Structure 1
Amino acid sequence: MPDHFVHTATARPSTPRSARRLDARSLRGLAHPLRMRIFELLTLDGPATSARLSERLGENTGTVSWHLRHLAEHGFIEEETGRGTKRERWWKRVEVTNDLNTADFRDDPDSRGALSVYLHELVQQYFNRVTDYVNEDWDETWRQAGTVADWHDLRLTPEQLKALNAELTEVIARYAAAPGAAAPDALPVVVQLQSFPRRARGDA
């Protein structure tokens, strides 16, 4: 399942999953550092209990439970039925793609703070994932397969940048639907696409 898309007009992967567009209320429900970290763990690693999450996050179980209920109230996660007990509830991400269009909140001063928190935390999560990969001990096969790269010499119009993002997204969607996930040497793979304009700065 794709993670959040922060965009103004990028193309959606051609997948059959349902999607919802985040509004001001749902944005405020998610835009909290700990809630976003909880949601990230449930997205990347699957269902967990508040006790398991609190151990990984170094947080009090009661605090994590409160944020889990908050995420559930806003439709981001749900209880996994048929698993656990009344005292140990399992939580999972709701199977839906969450789209956030920054243009929806450009003229809404009440949502500006939540949007700022969300964007900063999301970028921090992306940074942490790359840092973890660089610091972890991988065998040479995976080292040669992974990449951390950037291309800084492109000059594109807004229409060309939009088209580039759409094409890359379609390529990722094609691999997501390809067979091979059950292969013995297959591991979860994170693809982080970050493409944005840069203001040219002179020497002055």
Structure 2
Amino acid sequence: MSLFGGELILVAKQAPLRSEAKIMFMERLSLLILFFALPGSAEAENGAPKWLLGRSVVLQYTEARSFEPVEPGSGRPHDDTVDSRTIIYISSRGRIFAQSQSAVTTAYGSRSYNLIKSPDAATQGSDWRFEGETLLGLNKMGDDASVERVGVRFDHYSQTCTMTLAYARAKGSEGMVLPGWHGEHYYLRRHQLTSSVCELKAGNAFDTAN
């Protein structure tokens, strides 16, 4: 076979490979374009999805809880009810502003609490942050206490949100421990979210809050 003929044969064998490589490259490029075009994939400060910027979340929920004292003789078994309202504003830059107001009612009395979060100030042990498309609210009630976790999940297509409430046990603790009103500590034996409403609103809800 001549050298010229050999070159022709070599080129004929390589042509399908070049075409196949080009197709694979275009497929990968299309996937990359599709990925970056997906709603919510772009992020701002604090990992906030772009479609949530300039919006507010309003939570209203009620929780029923049962407690037993950690140390016998220090406190007494009891139940309580917690009514909470939280406003969260996600600015155009992704900065998070939040205020939570809670009223705790027992057979022995009631108390109110107010927690705040902003880029410049926050109640000690309280924080809000994004993890992917989920907004997490964390409230640590003392060094040796459990952490309350409020989770807000968003649906970009229906423009709605739902919330969950859970407790994370403190490291080294035998159970969920929460502080009492007089320095004692209690095991959280039961908790149930009896009602919850999550609203997603345009603009800054603090402008219209009472």
Whose helix fraction is larger, Structure 1's or Structure 2's?
Answer: 1
Structure with larger RCO (C-alpha < 8 A, sep 6+): 1
> Shorter-chain-normalised TM-score: which range?
under 0.3
Structure (1 or 2) with the greater strand fraction: 2
TM-score (norm. length: structure 2): 0.20
TM, length-normalised to structure 1? 0.21
